[in-house]
Chain A
């Protein structure tokens, strides 16, 4: 007897499916020279949206370049770039409503920038100063903002995936016309939380977009050692989920796919899986040296697929941008980032009292006592502890 949920035909000879049994095409809209494919269906985009997308990409490039430099100079302790993946991140965020909740992995600062995170806010987080919304508790790049519907980044990988399913379900129950979007890498997709999150979303009908940035590497591990199936996209249909694979370096393809995924998720209360095929142009993080596991040739090849350049050419073709304006934008952001960096690094660190705040809604008696003992101790040896943090 066949399962009530399948209408599979019966066969009488052994025949296996293999990973190529489901062919998953890659959506491409924009060509390398900035023109679109002849038969391509464009996303909904006007000049203002294109400019906002471009602006976000330029800012992010500049931020990555400057902050990696600042890390090398020892001004911040750690950094991670999203260079090469801007189209995946900005193209998808640009398809959303500001009320849609973003749950990101850590390489998606372009998304929070698109939502309006200011240069000053970026700097305050990276310098862990007292103006940081996260109160200096997490390493650089762990941004978050309630006002921007961007949940604070957590380092343990993939934990945000089932959480996104829950967020989306709550949006549905609250009858909001909004969805959740969840970003993760192809490496994180190996975690058990990935399976748990996608399966629950499909079964419980959560309006969530699972957005996988397949950038080729998880630290040093290439995709061949991460999965042997047909990418991450092939898993979507297995969970009973609408799925699409896009060129992750093609802003218009990502935008088109995400716009339609959002409409579908919202209208049907169903999840969608998007796999964006891209490349991590930089190192994994400022602590990593990719020359130990990949060739310069490979990196050079991907430089030619620069998503920011491709989109810029498209805008120039449309008459919405010229090279001079583009160059001026880089100059403007270089100055802005540097100026804000200098301000932020002088702002004091959070007060010592913050040490016991937010562990619970109110500090417990044990925490109060531990802080009081600590203060007594520091008063005895003030020179042995950091001055800025130790103002007591």
Chain B
């Protein structure tokens, strides 16, 4: 066990996988000698050489297409998209190609060895082009897995699992936690299974569900609720696609209530999907409508970032409303 921040945990995961898998390559804008704008790939070029860790020209479309090509021909490709806000130029390659390689070829070809890593989310005074949470665009695409860690330990275990997974994975990294989240991380090689949620805190009155950077917010809302005598069960979904319906449904059957929190806008967000499914699974157990505490239906604001955020206070209010319903 060693204490480290999330960037160090990601760096360690990449490094140990490159060590173990000689076919693995890491690339993207500025990831080479410089180590990426957030320094997640620091030292990898020095360790593994320029052929395996390198800068690409500035083209997300090119990076994704290139990654598809590498992975379709037997390599392990880990591509960095510098900010999740800039993944959209690559969307055709990801949505139409990465996601459908296996399906459209009748499994003649696949890009299973492909992982896109990309920093997402707000809280960094970045305005709308450095703060988006675009996960829902990808959860609607069959063939892609979508994974989001909440702390260094999770980042390492989930990233290793994503790299080894036999499907293309989009691994969103909560950038406001990159340096802020520090914690113990297991040494050596370990994986956290994809598709499994984690019950972070046991409770009896309401289930709070989230992922990534919002988990901190759910925990502090749960602390606030505890002072009012409300016991919250807190769940980290970790993998959004495919998501762990069983764990969430079991929890909701126990607590009778569900609150989902995400930073992306409410309309069309992934919370809507979860709410519909849980309503189906747990209809007779629900004691109040499923609550969603999400970003507003506006682009991510610069000046009104604090007001926009689905923060702990808003979550606390929604918990009380749900319990009192």
State whether the Cβ of A49 lies closer than 8 Å to any Cβ in chain B: no
Asked if residues B306 and A156 are in contact (CB atoms below 8 Å), the reply is no
Asked if residues A219 and B29 are in contact (CB atoms below 8 Å), the reply is yes
State whether the Cβ of A200 lies closer than 8 Å to any Cβ in chain B: no
Interface stretch (choices B126-134, B163-171, B194-202): B126-134
**Interchain CA distance A355-B307 in the complex, whole Å:** 9
Q: Map CB proximity to B onto A369-381 as digits: 1 under 8 Å, 0 otherwise.
A: 0110010011011
Q: Which residue of B lies closest to A194 (CB)?
A: B59
**Interchain CA distance A187-B86 in the complex, whole Å:** 14
State whether the Cβ of B282 lies closer than 8 Å to any Cβ in chain A: no
Could you say which of B32, B62, B85, B266 contacts A156, with CB atoms under 8 Å apart? B85
**Interchain CA distance A49-B313 in the complex, whole Å:** 58
Q: Which residues of B contact A193 (CB under 8 A)?
A: 89
Q: Which residues of A contact B296 (CB under 8 A)?
A: 355-356, 367, 370-371, 374
**Interchain CA distance A144-B286 in the complex, whole Å:** 51
Q: Map CB proximity to B onto A196-231 as digits: 1 under 8 Å, 0 otherwise.
A: 000000000000000000000011110001110000
**Interchain CA distance A218-B313 in the complex, whole Å:** 41
State whether the Cβ of A155 lies closer than 8 Å to any Cβ in chain B: yes
Asked if residues B125 and A137 are in contact (CB atoms below 8 Å), the reply is no
Asked if residues A349 and B307 are in contact (CB atoms below 8 Å), the reply is no
State whether the Cβ of A359 lies closer than 8 Å to any Cβ in chain B: yes
| B267, B297, B302 pick with most chain A CB within 10 angstroms | B302
Say how far B243's CB is from chain A's closest CB, in angstroms: 25
**Interchain CA distance A319-B283 in the complex, whole Å:** 86
Q: Which residues of A contact B59 (CB under 8 A)?
A: 190-192
State whether the Cβ of A350 lies closer than 8 Å to any Cβ in chain B: yes
Q: Which residues of A contact B303 (CB under 8 A)?
A: 128, 136-137, 349-350, 354, 389
Tell me the total A-B contact number using a CB cutoff of 8 A: 130
Say how far A381's CB is from chain B's closest CB, in angstroms: 5
**Interchain CA distance A238-B70 in the complex, whole Å:** 28
| B30, B89, B267 pick with most chain A CB within 10 angstroms | B30
Asked if residues A188 and B58 are in contact (CB atoms below 8 Å), the reply is yes
| A221, A371, A377 pick with most chain B CB within 10 angstroms | A221
State whether the Cβ of A293 lies closer than 8 Å to any Cβ in chain B: yes
Give chain B interface residues in 125-184, CB to chain A under 8 Å: 125-130
| A225, A349, A354 pick with most chain B CB within 10 angstroms | A225
The interface residues of chain A, by DSSP majority, are classed as loop
Q: Map CB proximity to B onto A157-192 as digits: 1 under 8 Å, 0 otherwise.
A: 100000000000000000000000000000110111
State whether the Cβ of B16 lies closer than 8 Å to any Cβ in chain A: no
A interface size (C-beta, 8 A):
50
**Interchain CA distance A366-B292 in the complex, whole Å:** 14
**Interchain CA distance A389-B130 in the complex, whole Å:** 21
Asked if residues A374 and B307 are in contact (CB atoms below 8 Å), the reply is yes
State whether the Cβ of B55 lies closer than 8 Å to any Cβ in chain A: yes
| B54, B55, B126, B266 pick with most chain A CB within 10 angstroms | B55
Asked if residues B30 and A389 are in contact (CB atoms below 8 Å), the reply is no
Give chain B interface residues in 34-65, CB to chain A under 8 Å: 34-35, 37, 54-55, 57-62
Could you say which of A220, A292, A359 contacts B299, with CB atoms under 8 Å apart? A359
**Interchain CA distance A187-B62 in the complex, whole Å:** 13
Asked if residues A190 and B62 are in contact (CB atoms below 8 Å), the reply is yes
Q: Which residues of A contact B304 (CB under 8 A)?
A: 350, 352, 354-355, 389
Say how far B120's CB is from chain A's closest CB, in angstroms: 15
Asked if residues B298 and A355 are in contact (CB atoms below 8 Å), the reply is yes
Q: Which residues of A contact B190 (CB under 8 A)?
A: none
Asked if residues A187 and B58 are in contact (CB atoms below 8 Å), the reply is yes
Asked if residues B29 and A139 are in contact (CB atoms below 8 Å), the reply is no
Q: Map CB proximity to B onto A223-263 as digits: 1 under 8 Å, 0 otherwise.
A: 00111000000000000000000000000000000000000
A residues bordering B, Cβ < 8 Å?
77, 128, 136-139, 142, 154-157, 187-188, 190-193, 218-221, 225-227, 287-288, 292-293, 349-350, 352, 354-356, 359, 364, 366-367, 370-371, 374, 377-378, 380-381, 384-386, 389-390
Additional 13 contacts, C-beta under 8 A, given A137-B303, A220-B30, A292-B33: A128-B303, A138-B302, A139-B127, A187-B58, A218-B29, A218-B30, A218-B58, A219-B29, A225-B54, A226-B57, A355-B296, A356-B298, A359-B297
7 contacts between A and B (CB under 8 A): A137-B302, A138-B128, A188-B58, A352-B307, A359-B298, A367-B296, A385-B306
